[in-house]
Structure 1
Amino acid sequence: MSTRRDFLQIAGLSTLALSLPLADTLAASVFSKEDKVLRVAIMGLGSYGTRVAEAMKESKRAKLVGVISGTPSKVETWRQKYGIPDKNCYNYENFDQIKENPDIDAVYVITPNSLHKPYGIRVAKAGKHVICEKPMALNAAEGREMIAACKAAGVHLLVGYRMHFEAKTLEVVRMQRAGEFGKTLFFQGLSGFIIGDPTQWRLNRELAGGGAMMDIGIYSINGSRYMLGEEPIWVTAQEVKTDPVKFKEGVDETITFQMGFPSGAVASCLSTYALNNLDKFYLDGTKGFAEMQPSTGYGPIQARTNNGPIEREHITHQTVQMDEMAAIILDGKKPVIPVDGEEGLKDLVIVDAIYEAVKTGKKVMIG
């Protein structure tokens, strides 16, 4: 059975002839035992925090060494399960003390959206690198505050864009950049599922900052940008709400939105909490196409082009993400698709524009 190391070596070599920058990036993913390890504390010990912690067991460059939670029972469970020292366990009131803890390099903020900015800034002021789940903040203004705080503190700000390291996604991006689809003219992104518990934080405007757009819609926004390889200059958007009891004021159920790009390409996207089986990207060009379905789930991702299926080994997304983020922070590695605060801000600018378009019914210009 091939290993992750074998896969990365092969992937790097196979792209050498067509894309030296991408090949260099992939080949640099082969880590040696002597490489430094990024020591990470996870803030927010819910379901996704657990997923990241489990994935990090297989990481070569990142190690879980600390926890931050407002629930003492969760802290104790994680302390025992992952062998975390007492001195690396914090709550939301005292985690500023990590400033005095040399055994923690970075904090991965996996909290409700409204807490990303205040907690991320506190982490930065404590002198630790910030890894933040997406969306990076509630809006572009908050995102700019986070970027400024991290720059002032001299720490990295990275966003949990796991798809930016996924092998099949990277192959589609490579093909698009190499012109193998010709001029790319159209992108479709369908992102949605039927949400469950109506009392969860994702349906609380104060905690989530919105509804489906702030959770699942961000994938189509981000995907349109890296698959078309350019930034949108306008958006239009329409909202549909069939259940105003479950989806209260300020919590979107379904939004369809369109984006226009400088090249003339357009994107047509759907973000919803009311429909299942929606996880699809489609890219169309003058010489070919790419289709991914599922396109952003936890995997395995399925992808095909006009040349046939794309075959790559499935590796747990969060494992690859944490290894690659360690390389960015520790080695200065430049990823094929950025995952820094500026990348997160670009998505937030578009989210703001979409909500404005829904409210006004007008085309909203960006930039």
Structure 2
Amino acid sequence: MSSRRNFIQMVAAPLLAMPLISQAENSNPIYEPLADGPVLKVALLGLGGYANIVARAMQGCKRAKITALISGTPEKLEQWGEKYQVPKNQRFSYDELHKIKNNPDIDAVYIMTPNSRHPEFAIQVAQLGKHVISEKPMATNVKDAQKMIDACKKAGVKLLIGYRMHFEPNTLEIIQKREAGEFGKILFFQGLSGFIIGDPKQWRLNKILAGGGSMMDIGIYSINGARYMVGEEPVWVTAQETKTDPVKFKEGVDETIQFQMGFPSGAVASCLSTYALNNLDKFYLNGTKGFAEMMPSTGYGPIKAKTNKGELSFAHVTHQTIQMDEFAAIIHDNKVPKIPVDGEEGLKDMKIIEAIFEAVKTGKKVSLS
């Protein structure tokens, strides 16, 4: 794949063409059909490549609807407004964000700008009385992530992070099996996350906008995945960086990082985050009684999973469709998801990312407290 954008477009087409299936052949007691209820009225903020995937996927939602658009590009507001039938009076520039206050047609704002702008918009949206949905990573550092949490708490609104895998049936099934003891004592997790990134001028390779490189984009999947697959919070990290192209990957923009995490039970994780290798999308969980493997593990689908007892047969679910319907239930019904998707969950990942960067810099094991 020549670039992240091409990657998004490539995987989005077959994903969105597939049928939306809420439950597959296996019975999954964790993944249940949503209860009927009020529709979540969503404003999309930042109309880039990923927002296009979310917007298209939301056409299949039962409880979430695009009701407003927010962008710094007038042409996008016009094009998207016509495409998704959003009235002109519900299209706003960034400078007009204040106009969403008391707008009855907006319940929540989904922020999908470059990483560094998530905090500023999240804080503004919260102060305007709207629920905040932020794409991950929620910020570029722990300090800003905490500011987002504090602003939403002060305003009395919810802060959700776009962890789409937290609602994926194969993922939830493996977690249930682990909790039931089917794998025995968990000993080891492996997470491989990577692809070859293209355009060197894109924002994901800009330290100021992205906050880093591959770790902020794809590596966070292995971090987050290790936590929900093992079922514990890591207590230490070690990490090593490899950089083969210092021109493309400038100072502060990581190309490849290998990192390890240790958990209270003694389980360890070995992970790889890279912008220099394709075909890396794998999770492997090993215990004293069995194992689980997912490959692909976090791509847009279909997810393929198996355990020592055989393959799982859950059909493909359009992740962003399910995510947005689940977010509607969390916001309107106070539903509690199996795996958290709130600001505190995002903050945990940010703390680990900062620790990994510190471990790379110092060459030492970094304690997480």
TM-score class, shorter-chain normalisation, is over 0.9
TM, length-normalised to structure 2? 0.93
Amino acid in the other structure paired with 1:4: I
Alignment of 1:348 with 2:318, yes or no, is no
Letter in 1 for 2:34: V
Letter in 1 for 2:195: F
Q: Cα deviation per residue 1:107-134 (whole Å; 9 max; x = unaligned)? A: 0000000000001111111100000000
One of 171, 174, 190 as aligned partner of 2:173: 171
Alignment match, 2:7: none
User: Structure 2 CA distance, aligned partners of 1:257 and 1:311?
Assistant: 31
Kept in 2: contact 1:182–1:286 (CA 8 A): yes
Q: SS in structure 2 opposite 1:93?
A: helix
SS at match of 1:57: helix
- 2:34 maps to 1:30: yes
- Show structure 2 runs of 5+ residues with no match: 1-17
TM-score normalised by structure 1 residue count:
0.94
Deviation, structure 1 residue 26: 3.0
Q: Distance in 1 between matches of 2:51 and 2:150?
A: 26
Distance in 2 (alpha carbons) for counterparts of 1:279 and 1:206:
27
What are the Cα deviations for residues 189-248 of structure 1, in whole angstroms up to 9, with x where unaligned? Answer: 000000000000000001000000000000000000000000000000000100000000
Q: Does 1:130 align with 2:129?
A: no
Q: Distance in 2 between matches of 1:170 and 1:180?
A: 14
The correspondence for 1:207, drawn from 182, 188, 209, is 209
Deviation at 1:176, TM superposition (A): 0.8
The alignment partner of 2:122 has SS state of: helix
2: CA distance, partners of 1:132 / 1:3:
24
Q: Is the 8 A contact 1:194 1:274 kept in 2?
A: yes
Q: Once the 2 structures are TM-superposed, how far is the Cα of residue 3 of structure 1 from its aligned partner?
A: 6.8
Q: In the alignment, which of 233, 236, 240 is matched to residue 231 of structure 1?
A: 233
User: Structure 1 residue 30: deviation in Å?
Assistant: 3.2
2:366 aligns with 364
2:9 equivalent to 1:4: no
Q: CA deviation at 1:41?
A: 0.5
Residue type matched to 2:87 in 1? P
* Residue number among 76, 79, 87 corresponding to 2:78 in the alignment: 76
1:111 aligns with 2:113: yes
| Percent of residue pairs bearing the same amino acid type | 66
What's the secondary structure of 1:352's corresponding residue?
helix
Q: Secondary structure of the equivalent of 1:311?
A: coil
1:302 CA drift (Å): 0.4
Match of 1:317 in 2: 319
1:191 aligns with 2:193: yes
Q: CA deviation at 1:140?
A: 1.2
Q: Deviations over 1:120-157 (max 9, x none)?
A: 11111110000000001111111111000000000000
Shift of 1:260: 0.3
> Following TM superposition, by how much is the alpha carbon of 1:2 offset from its aligned partner in structure 2, in angstroms?
9.2
Residues 5-35 of structure 1: CA deviation (Å, up to 9, x unaligned):
5x27x76xx35xxxxxxx3x533x3333xx1
Q: Which residue of 1 aligns with 2:59?
A: 57
In structure 1, stretches of 5+ residues that fail to align are: 16-22
CA contact (8 A) 2:20 2:317 kept: no
The answer to whether the 8 Å contact 2:118/2:139 transfers is yes
Residues 31 and 172, structure 2, Cα contact 8 Å, conserved in 1: no
Counterpart-to-counterpart distance in 1, 2:31 and 2:206: 40
Alignment partners' CA distance in 2, 1:44 and 1:319? 18
- How does 1:225-304 map onto structure 2 within 5 Å? 225-304=227-306
CA distance in 1: counterparts of 2:212 and 2:367, whole angstroms: 21
Please give the alpha-carbon distance, in whole angstroms, between the structure 2 residues aligned to 1:252 and 1:343: 23
Give the root-mean-square deviation of aligned CA atoms. Answer: 1.4
Given that residues 143 and 348 in structure 1 are in contact (C-alpha distance below 8 angstroms), is that contact kept between their aligned partners in structure 2?
yes
Distance 2:223 2:180 in 1: 22
1:18 alignment partner in structure 2? none
Q: Which residue of 2 aligns with 1:85?
A: 87
Alignment correspondent of 2:8: none
Distance change (3 Å), C-alpha of 1:3 and 1:68: closer
Q: Distance in 1 between matches of 2:19 and 2:129?
A: 39
Instruction: State the shift of 1:4 in Å.
Output: 3.4
